[in-house]
Amino acid sequence: MGRVRRWDAVPRQDGRRFVVTGASGGIGLETAKVLADRGARVTLAVRNAAKGEQAAAQMAGDVEVALLDVSSLESVRSFADACGEVDVLVNNAGVLGLPFSRSVDGFELQLATNHLGHFALANLLLPRITDRVVVVSSRSHLTGDLDLDDLLWERRRYQPYAAYAASKLANMLFLAELQRRLTAAGSTLRATGAHPGSTVTAITANTGSPLKTLVGRYGHPLVGMPAAQGALPTLYAATMDVPGNTYVGPHGLGEMRGWPTAVGRSQRALDPDLAKSLWTRSEDLTGVRFPF
């Protein structure tokens, strides 16, 4: 791989509409802010309207706030029903390391938020998407494992960070299988992915572990990138002309810091049979199917 150069020159996006989930803070907020500045029409799809309005007030340009709780299938369907044509959907919202809890639909909450809700949202919106779906994952997918027979943690002893890593692996498998299905259907749409490396956001400062929350809140800012730089891989995946199933992350050591470049993924994330099986299971759980 050649030398990676600094990249923060997001091209103009005039006349294009982006939906960014979880856009009231962190990577989502910074992603939406740059897109609006570059001329896009941006929908901040957020769980908390007040926080969404506060985020919108920080942005110049054509920005709207819409309610969306991706952990709730009812909320996902309501948002999708009201959403018009979209050029790019950025599946960004996420939670990390939470104590065991279930979503309103009865799913383990990290899987519900990080994967199942976004799976349903993307498939519901696909007929109205003109360009691409961007899947925001994490380096944590590298340690992720999926037990398809106990996907919702009904029998195993719950481990918050193992559940998070599993949900991020699910993101990667979704990315690959979505692109495979789009290609097989003859669609010109594409799916791309990104991860922010080591980036300082609220997600690492509000976990279910007091120790990890302490480290995230006070230690992470000493080594992590600011959110504005951590958002660059997502912006690259959302705006640059890259092939479907491209996965973008920071170029530096361990993909922790640096500028956007195409990066690799775990062997599990490359398993086509696991991807297809997870897709089938996700369809069964959400009741949402591939529309093409």
The pLDDT value recorded for residue 5 is 78
Tell whether 61 is covered by a domain.
yes
- Number of domains the chain is built from: 1
Instruction: Look up the CATH number of the domain holding residue 118.
Output: 3.40.50.720
- Evaluate whether residue 6 is within a structural domain: no
Structure token digits, residue 238:
């959302």
The pLDDT value recorded for residue 253 is 82
Q: At which residue do the structure tokens 């969404």 appear?
A: 52
Maximum alpha-carbon separation in the chain: 50
Output the pLDDT for position 269: 97
Closest CA to 203 of 192, 218, 213: 213
Asked if the structure places residue 292 within a domain, the reply is no
111: its two tokens? 């899987």
Which domain does 72 fall in, by range?
17-284
Q: Does residue 12 lie within any of the structural domains?
A: no
Can you give the pTM of this predicted structure? Answer: 0.91
C-alpha 236/C-alpha 46 separation (Å) is: 22
Options 161, 164, 236, 247, the catalytic residue: 164
Tell whether 151 is covered by a domain.
yes
State the pLDDT at residue 4.
Answer: 67
Assess if residue 56 is contained within a domain.
Answer: yes
Give me the residues of the chain with pLDDT under 70, please.
Answer: 1-4, 200-223, 255
Residue 1 domain-assigned (yes or no): no
- What's the Cα-to-Cα distance from 206 to each of 26, 140, 220, rounded to whole Å? 13, 17, 12
Active-site annotation holds for 247: no
Per the domain annotation, does 267 fall within a domain?
yes
Please tell me the predicted confidence (pLDDT) of residue 111: 98
